[in-house]
Amino acid sequence: WGISGAALATGLAPILGLMMMLYWIFIKKDTYLSYNKEDFHNDFSIYKDILAVGIPASLEQLIMAALAVTVNFMLTLVSGSIAVAVYTAGWRLISLGLLPAIGVGTAAITVSGVAYGAKKYENIRTALRYSAKLGLASSIVVCILLYVFANQLAFIFSYSEASAPLLPLIAAFIQLMCLFILYVPFGASAGNVFQGLGKGTTSFILTTFREFVLVLIFAYLLGFVFNMGETGIYYGMLLGGFIGSVIAYAYIEIYVDRLIKGKIEGSKI
């Protein structure tokens, strides 16, 4: 079915996953927690807590999508459709390389949230640093693999005769932008721990400042003002992302330190 089949599979996959979850929860009923209508009681404070984290987290995804659109537009202006094709193909592989660090950071949400609720604030610092270290270790491995096998990976998107000229361009993009993966663990850990502490708005502000302010400013400066073209845009993304991640991680370290010392009011649970 070609593209239509791929689109259909994309739509069916989450539906099948949802059906499996519903089966385990309501039919098989062998989950850790049981669900009964009789035990359900509305507590609007819980809705408030969920939305306080959920809405900013959703807006973060919107910011990331808007950033991708803006970068595509900038690349179109400086280098045309070929640069957009290279960026789109290469970034898919970079996104895959981000998954280990993002996964570790996501786990930090739960761990930091539990520690915060139990008022064991030292455990928040432990979770934060462990998340950053483990994420960095996995990112280094992924970065090396992407750099070494850049040509082979680029071939996935340039195997046809028409797209063959893109192979060296995509490979060069991967070898440069794989550096982006190295500092994601710090920004991701900071943002996720803030979410675990119920500070979704803080996480959103840090993400917006990093992605939609620093990244775009440096990409514009290097790409347009300094006439470095598409390479300048890529360097700008790296520089902006690095500075933003350092700021985010430094801020969460300071916040947790103040929390431990009692300078900030902690959980009221």
Q: What tens digit of pLDDT does each residue of 236-252 get? A: 999 999 999 999 999 99
Residue 46 counted as domain residue: no
Report how far apart, in Å, the C-alpha atoms of 12 and of each of 19, 23, 41, 192 are. Answer: 11, 16, 33, 29
The pLDDT of residue 121 is 95
**How much is the pLDDT for 8?**
93
Shared domain check, 129 and 63:
yes
Is there a domain that residue 117 lies in? Answer: yes
28 and 56 belong to one structural domain: no
Regarding whether 149 and 123 lie in a shared domain, the answer is yes
133 inside domain: yes
Same domain, 166 and 191: yes
pLDDT (0 to 100) of residue 150: 97
- 215: in domain: yes
- In a domain, residue 13? The reply is yes
Domain count within the chain: 2
The per-residue pLDDT for range 39-63, each reduced to its tens digit, is 778 888 888 888 988 999 999 999 9
Q: Are residues 186 and 218 in the same domain?
A: yes
Q: Check residue 269 and give its pLDDT.
A: 42
Q: Looking at the structure, do residues 58 and 34 belong to the same domain, yes or no?
A: no
| Dihedral angle sign, alpha carbons of residues 215, 216, 221, 223 | positive
Domain range enclosing 190: 52-260
Q: Is 102 part of a structural domain of the chain?
A: yes
- Predicted confidence at residue 267, as pLDDT, reads 59
State how far the alpha carbon of 170 is from the alpha carbons of 55, 64, 118, 145, in Å. 35, 21, 48, 15
Residues 84 and 192 grouped into a single domain: yes
Average pLDDT, the chain: 92
pLDDT at 85: 94
For residue 184, give both structure tokens: 């994601």
Q: Convert the pLDDT of each residue in 120-153 to its tens digit.
A: 999 999 999 999 999 999 999 999 999 999 999 9
User: With 90 as the cut, is the pLDDT of residue 114 above it?
Assistant: yes
Alpha carbon separation from 3 to 120, 134, 166 (Å, rounded): 51, 38, 22
Q: Of all helices (H) and strands (E), which one includes residue 149? A: none
| Residues 65 and 33 placed together within one structural domain of the fold | no
CA angle, corner 218, sides to 213 and 221, nearest 5? 120
N-term to C-term CA, the chain: 54
Reported confidence tier of residue 266, pLDDT bands at 50, 70, 90 = low
pTM for the whole structure: 0.86
- Residues 23, 57, single domain; the answer is no
